[in-house]
Structure formats: structure tokens, C-alpha cells
Amino acid sequence: MPSTSTTTSVTTTPGGGTADADRGSDRDGARGAAQSQNAQSQSQSQSQSAQSQKAQSQSSFRVFDVSVVRVRALSPNLSRFTFGGGDLDDFAETGYDQRIKLILPLPVVGLAPMPRTENWYGDWRALPAELQNPIRTYTVRAVRRQLAEIDVDIVMHGDSGPASAWASTARPGDPLIVVGPNHHFDGDCGGVDFAPPAETGLHLLIGDETALPAIAAILEKLAPDARGIALVETPHADDRLALGYHPGVEVRHVERGDGLPGSALVPAVRAATELLFGTGTRAGAGAVEDGAASAPAGGAAHAGADTRNADSARAAEVELDDVDVDSAVLWDVPGEYSGIPLCDRTDVYAWVAAEAGVVKELRRHFVRDCGLDRSCAAFMGYWRLGRADLA
Ligand SMILES: Cc1cc2nc3c(=O)[nH]c(=O)nc-3n(C[C@H](O)[C@H](O)[C@H](O)COP(=O)(O)OP(=O)(O)OC[C@H]3O[C@@H](n4cnc5c(N)ncnc54)[C@H](O)[C@@H]3O)c2cc1C
């Protein structure tokens, strides 16, 4: 289990800026970072060599110049990108749902404008808009420090966004910038939101294809005696091949085909919570069990009922902010940033990451219908249907 959690609150887009800052960039990039620097210092900073940054970096997150080593199709909609680079041996191996930033090239100038500074995010924001490289958030699927390599599994959704468009043409040797946790940082680097209490009866891992790399990484690091259910929706049945395995976690995969995001996941979750919490919300899910584990359903039903009874009163006291997912990041995770206290033991811990509108619906369902205590849940909008990421 992670020793600490890093969290952000549900928040509106800060004054004309980027709501992505609220789910990590400011903290990931430069904890306590200083003011934006002027153009002169930016150009000086940009000319820093990777080696000198390696020697100097004290940040929790830092900038890594990398290049594509390999690209491998994992499933119809997911491809694994292996990045290598001279100083990726400084990339911290944190695991779970460790988020990172990919900095995408601009036409003509490529990656040159991106500040390679400790205060990379503030410096990036200070650049003229046309020199701001697109930033997108991803999960680091694997870190091999000894080989100076990392893997990132990317959903190939066409060329409508800079990240997916870049991925669709990327070849070995192509350069990219990754901002990720610094192995040399003395403390919690941040950017890991999976933080179940040490004593958790049942882990519920719920997400779509963009959350699949995080769920796979969580399954890899979860204690062998942990119990759980992973409910995953993807466009194609074969996308589950990228998911992985844990002996105590029952994987239920639902295929949405050409349906809208959430069209298979929401009914599947409602069917599961009817058994777990007795909410009477069954909607005919048709979930396909993947046969990954001995089903923990019996124990889960009992545990869920206990949680509901114990926590529903407390959950009702917590105001459930309504989030406009068109203008805000839905990021509702317990911790110091959200003000939602962390609980130290729970019967059910829910980790939910998917399209923001879907997460909004599931959050309402868990908190209002199921009475799940928000201290025992992480709700994260990973992307927004019909809208670019807010970075
Ligand atoms: C913490 C975190 C971790 C994430 N981890 C991963 C990961 O490991 N792998 C991964 O693939 N994604 C991951 N995502 C999601 C990813 O950041 C978004 O999908 C992002 O919007 C992709 O950027 P883009 O430039 O391709 O598209 P954008 O420029 O953001 O959007 C352009 C258009 O593409 C659409 N779009 C965006 N994403 C998708 C999608 N997945 N399917 C269909 N349409 C889409 C948007 O609705 C919009 O219409 C993660 C997000 C977060 C917040």
C-alpha cells in the first residue's frame, strides 16, 4: 500500500488557467515552486543539459528528455510505448496509478520551447500560447530504472488530440518529454491516488480503457492477500488483454462496442453494487467474468452492507459538490487538498477513473445511493468526451 496519498479536490478551472494544475501539474512539477521566470531565464534554462538537471534536481517531479525505444500493440485500442533516455535511471519506481505528464511536440519547433527547469510548469505557463507544448496526463505502466526505460500504455483514439495523434505516427527514435517522479527526491513525490486504508476488506477498481494501465499496475503491486473486484469497460473485448491479473481480484470486463462511454460500465457497476450494498439499483449489466480469481462476492456482499450501515450517516453529512465536467476537473480524492479525511480502515474502498461524465454519475451513485463514505473512495475524471484535456 502507498504510505501516503496525493490528492486534489474537485475544482473549477482557475482564472483562465488550466484545471490540470489542480490535479497535479503544480504539485507534480514544482512543489512550492517559485514565481514564473522571465524569458531570458527560460532560454538559459532550456539550454541546460539533461546531465546538469540530473545533478541539480531536487524536485518531486522533474523533466526527462526521452525517445521512443519500442511501440507494441497490446490490444485493438491500446499500444505500449517504451521510452528510453540517458537519465531515466532517475525515474522513481512508485507503482500503482502514478500519473505522469507527456509533453508533445509542436509543429516546426518541436520540443524546443519546453522549459527543462525545476519550475517547469510555471515556466511553461509563462510562455506565449503558441510556444506552449501540449501537455497530457498518463500513467506510467512500468519503470525499469536499471535499463533507463519506462512503459506507457496509450489509448489510440485517432488524431483528434495531440497525444493520440502523436502516438499514431510515433516511431523508434522519436523524441518526447516526460515529466515524472524523481528518484532522488527525499519524500513522497506525489501523483499516486490509489490509497486504500491498510485494512481494506474489498477493493473496487472501476474504469475504462484509459484507466486500464493504472488498474493493471495496481493489480501488480496489490498485496497478495488483498481481495477485490475490477470492473473495466473497453471498446473491444480484446482490450482486456492489457489488464493483468491478481489472484484475489475478480475481473469483470464489459465491452461497449460503438456505444457511448459508460453505456456498459454504469449498468455493470449498478448490478455489482446492488449485491454489495443492497441498493436495489440493478440495471441489467451483462458483465463478463474473466475468471481471474475465486469470486469474492459472498464476502463482499457482507462487507458492503456493513460499510453502508456504518458510513452512510457520515457520507450524508458531506456535501456532494456538483461538478460541471465541461469547465472543471472532476477529481475527488481524500486528502489534504480536498479536505476529505482519509479513513484508516474500511470494508470497501472504491477507485474510479474514466470519462468525466461517467465518473460524475458513478460518484453520485456510490455516495448518494450506496452511502459510500467519500473517505473510502477516489473519483477521477480521466478524460472528457468531446473536449480536449484541460492542460
Ligand atoms: C491521471 C490520469 C492518468 C491517465 N492515464 C492514461 C493512460 O495511461 N493511458 C491513456 O491512454 N490515457 C490516460 N489518461 C487519459 C488521457 O489523459 C486523455 O485521454 C487525454 O485526453 C488524451 O489526450 P489527447 O491529446 O489524445 O486528446 P485531447 O486533446 O485531450 O482530446 C481531443 C478529443 O479526443 C477525445 N478523447 C480524449 N481521450 C479519448 C479517449 N481515450 N478515447 C476517445 N476519445 C478521447 C476528447 O473527447 C476530445 O474530443 C489519463 C488521464 C489522467 C487524468
Q: If you take atom 31 of ligand 1, which residue's CA is the nearest one?
A: 388
* CATH 3.40.50.80 domain span(s) along the chain: 199-383
- In the chain, beta strands by DSSP E: 11-12, 61-73, 78-84, 99-103, 135-139, 142-144, 149-155, 175-181, 199-207, 228-234, 249-255, 288-289, 328-329, 331-332, 345-355, 377-383
Ligand 1 centre to CA of 214 (Å) is 13
At 165, list the grid cell.
495523434
Q: Are 334 and 315 in contact (CB under 8 A)?
A: no
CA 48 to chain centre: 30
Q: If you take atom 37 of ligand 1, which residue's CA is the nearest one?
A: 383
Q: Is the model's pLDDT at 178 over the cut of 60?
A: yes
Local structure of 70: helix, strand or coil:
strand
pLDDT at 299: 35
CA of 26: how far to CAs of 43, 58, 267, 360, in Å? 21, 15, 36, 24
pLDDT at 212: 97
- CA-based torsion, 148, 151, 157, 158: positive or negative: positive
pLDDT bin (cut points 50, 70, 90) of residue 127 is very high
Ligand 1 centre to CA of 389 (Å) is 7
Q: Which amino acid is located at 12 in the chain?
A: T
As a whole number, the mean pLDDT across the chain is 81
* CATH 2.40.30.10 domain span(s) along the chain: 25-181
- CA-based torsion, 85, 191, 77, 142: positive or negative: positive
CA of 300: how far to CAs of 100, 266, 273, 297, in Å? 33, 19, 10, 5
25-181 CATH choice from 2.10.10.90, 1.10.3720.10, 1.10.10.10, 2.40.30.10:
2.40.30.10
Q: Are 322 and 251 in contact (CB under 8 A)?
A: no
Which residue in the block uniquely carries the three cell numbers 523508434? Answer: 172
pLDDT bin (cut points 50, 70, 90) of residue 53 is low
Report the atom number in ligand 1 closest to the C-alpha of 389: 30
Who has greater pLDDT, 336 or 257? 257
**Which of 164, 176, 260 is the pocket-test mutation for ligand 1 (most atoms within 8 Å of CB)?**
164
DSSP codes joined into one string, 326-368: TTEE-EE--STTT-PPPPSEEEEEEEEEEEHHHHHHHHHIIII
pLDDT at 201: 95
pLDDT bin (cut points 50, 70, 90) of residue 20 is very low
Q: Rounded to whole angstroms, how far apart are CA atoms 21 and 259?
A: 31
Q: Are 348 and 376 in contact (CB under 8 A)?
A: yes
pLDDT at 54: 56
At 26, list the grid cell.
503544480
pLDDT at 107: 96
Q: Is the model's pLDDT at 10 over the cut of 70?
A: no
Ligand 1 centre to CA of 376 (Å) is 26
pLDDT at 327: 76
Least confident of 7-16, 136-145, 194-203, 205-214: 7-16
Write down the CATH number for the domain with range 199-383.
Answer: 3.40.50.80
CA 136 to chain centre: 11
Ligand 1 centre to CA of 165 (Å) is 11
Residues lining ligand 1, Cβ inside 6 A: 99, 136-139, 153-155, 157, 160-164, 210, 213, 382-389
pLDDT at 280: 56
At 94, list the grid cell.
512508485
Q: Rounded to whole angstroms, how far apart are CA atoms 82 and 87?
A: 14
Q: Rounded to whole angstroms, how far apart are CA atoms 264 and 274?
A: 16
pLDDT at 279: 67
Q: What percent of the chain has pLDDT over 90?
A: 64
Q: Are 60 and 189 in contact (CB under 8 A)?
A: yes
CA of 187: how far to CAs of 114, 118, 182, in Å? 26, 16, 10
Q: If you take atom 27 of ligand 1, which residue's CA is the nearest one?
A: 161
- Give pLDDT tens digits for 302-324: 333 344 444 444 444 445 667 77
- Give pLDDT tens digits for 327-381: 778 999 998 778 888 888 889 999 999 999 999 999 999 999 999 999 999 999 9
Cα–Cα nearest to 269, from 197, 193, 329, 352: 352
Least confident of 44-53, 190-199, 212-221, 271-280: 44-53
- Give pLDDT tens digits for 237-247: 999 887 888 99
- Give pLDDT tens digits for 286-298: 343 443 333 333 3
Q: If you take atom 40 of ligand 1, which residue's CA is the nearest one?
A: 157
Mark 364-390 as b/e (b = at least 16 C-beta within 10 Å): ebbbebbbbbbbbbbbbbbbbeeeebb
Cα–Cα nearest to 45, from 130, 150, 127: 127
Ligand 1 centre to CA of 156 (Å) is 9
pLDDT bin (cut points 50, 70, 90) of residue 55 is low
Secondary structure of 115-180 in HEC code, one letter for each residue: CCCCCHHHHHHHCCHHHCCCEEEEECCEEEHHHCEEEEEEECCCCCCHHHHHHHHCCCCCEEEEEE
pLDDT at 11: 31
- Give pLDDT tens digits for 195-210: 999 899 999 999 999 9
Which residue in the block uniquely carries the three cell numbers 469547465? Answer: 327
Least confident of 156-160, 211-215, 297-301, 349-353: 297-301
- CA-based torsion, 341, 347, 351, 355: positive or negative: negative
Length of the chain counted residue by residue = 391
- Give pLDDT tens digits for 81-111: 999 987 999 999 999 999 999 999 999 999 9
Q: Please give the model's pTM, rounded to 2 decimal places.
A: 0.84
Given 3-state DSSP classes, what are the helix, strand and coil percentages for the chain, each rounded to the nearest 5? 30, 25, 45
Report the atom number in ligand 1 closest to the C-alpha of 385: 47
CA of 189: how far to CAs of 58, 90, 196, 285, 309, in Å? 11, 13, 18, 39, 36
Q: Is the model's pLDDT at 3 over the cut of 80?
A: no
